[in-house]
Amino acid sequence: VGRVKIVLMGISWLGRQTSEFADLDWENLGFGLVQTDYMYTTKCGPDGNFDKGGMVPFGPIEMNPASGVLNYGQGLFEGLKAYRKTDGSILLFRPMENAMRMQTGAERMCMPAPPVEQFVDAVKQTVLANKRWVPPTGKGSLYIRPLLVGSGAVLGLAPAPEYTFLIFASPVGNYFKEGLAPINLIVEDKFHRATPGGTGGVKTIGNYASVLMAQKIAKEKGYSDVLYLDAVEKKYLEEVSSCNIFVVKGNVISTPAIKGTILPGITRKSIIDVALSKGFQLTIALCDEYAFLLKIHKSTVEERLVSVDELLDADEVFCTGTAVVVSPVGSITYQGKRIEYAGKQGVGAVSRQLYTSLTSLQMGQVEDPMGWTVQL
């Protein structure tokens, strides 16, 4: 009887692995959690070495009430996506970038991080174990959420003595309820997301809790999200609660330079590289004094201080992020004035071209000269 039971368990495990798609309404995916079958988990103690780890059924985890993450917010997360190609195979987009960003963030948060190879291998295991939840081509993607948290108990303020690295995944569609339609932002004039010397440049969980209030107020007024200004001069663009921002004027694509308060988005970086591959020249200026240097090229993609006033006469504005991909901005409200960005259905030509180039690469519809995708 024991042997029959083992064989049957094997069939049900295999059944889960081989039934092509989970029973889900693939036409109506949003960005809500859909619980999948398995998650990856591993721990490390004070020596900083993570165990090999492995897949366990998705579900609640045990957490010490005195854990570093619950009490002092010692935690980081990542986000990346897997896409299904038309031949049924699966592509990951730049998982090593997430692994490296988690290492940088972990250093800032006094946490050990899993080695890059272990991170990427764990992501692959998580996607393969949940393969039936990767949406059919063109219906969305599997959003993968790696988490690194101080799970060991502390009472006095100190780094936790134990860490848990786990990865879960959920099929997703469009992030904003507007779908692919342009979103409406409001420039935040009271709350700030990050301050110089703080943790705005790393993907720590607290950065996201702290924007909920501004986001809630904005949503109540009908806006999709909030655009933050720098906390010192209240003059330069930083980012949106959930994504980076780009402004297009003529042949110039500009985005706020990374200077510690802005999240170094992987989609942000990829969009800059896609623009460069299309003949734009990169210029980086960290202060206004050097801004004149930016004028020497005709078509440029610029990482620099972007003044809020530039929104007034921009041709296009768009947001980038793993969750939001490339989201066109239809309007921005600043000091009570609504600035509208026109274009075909509100989507400008530059945003459209960059969106198409990036997503066709992510979905494996075009060659990948950058070597960004990882085939499973």
Residues that bind ligand COI (CB under 6 A): 79, 208, 242, 321-323
Q: Judged by CB, which is closer to ligand COI: 119, or 280?
A: 119
- 50 forms beta bridges with 44
Q: Judged by CB, which is closer to ligand COI: 170, or 300?
A: 170
Tokens of 110: 């006094």
Tokens of 352: 């459209």
Structure letter (DSSP) for residue 307: B
Position with the least CB separation from ligand COI? 79
- 290 forms beta bridges with none
Nearest residue to 95 via CA among 54, 47, 144, 58:
144
Q: Tokens 């108990």 label which residue?
A: 153
Give the nearest distance from C-beta 321 to ligand COI in angstroms.
4
Task: Kindly provide the residue ranges of all beta strands, DSSP E only, lying in 69-206, ordered along the sequence.
Answer: 75-77, 80-84, 90-93, 141-150, 163-172, 183-187
Give the nearest distance from C-beta 152 to ligand COI in angstroms.
25
d(CA 176, CA 179): 6
Structure letter (DSSP) for residue 31: S
User: Coil, strand, or helix at residue 348?
Assistant: coil
Cβ(97)–Cβ(89) under 8 Å? no
User: Coil, strand, or helix at residue 327?
Assistant: strand
> Strand 225-229 relative to strand 237-240: parallel, antiparallel, unpaired?
antiparallel
Tell me which of 81, 124, 131, 203 is the catalytic residue: 203
d(CA 300, CA 250): 10
Q: Judged by CB, which is closer to ligand COI: 255, or 322?
A: 322
Cβ neighbors of 371 (< 8 A, separation 6 or more) are: none
Q: Judged by CB, which is closer to ligand COI: 184, or 322?
A: 322
Cβ(373)–Cβ(362) under 8 Å? yes
d(CA 308, CA 300): 19
Give the nearest distance from C-beta 263 to ligand COI in angstroms.
8
Active site residue 337: no
d(CA 215, CA 226): 6
Give the nearest distance from C-beta 323 to ligand COI in angstroms.
3
Q: Judged by CB, which is closer to ligand COI: 271, or 305?
A: 271
Q: Tokens 């290492």 label which residue?
A: 103
Give the nearest distance from C-beta 190 to ligand COI in angstroms.
21
Give the nearest distance from C-beta 93 to ligand COI in angstroms.
11
Residue 215's alpha-carbon distances to 192, 202, 223, 243, 279, in angstroms, are 11, 20, 9, 13, 37
Give the nearest distance from C-beta 269 to ligand COI in angstroms.
13
Q: Judged by CB, which is closer to ligand COI: 78, or 316?
A: 78
Q: Judged by CB, which is closer to ligand COI: 300, or 322?
A: 322
- Show which residues are catalytic: 203
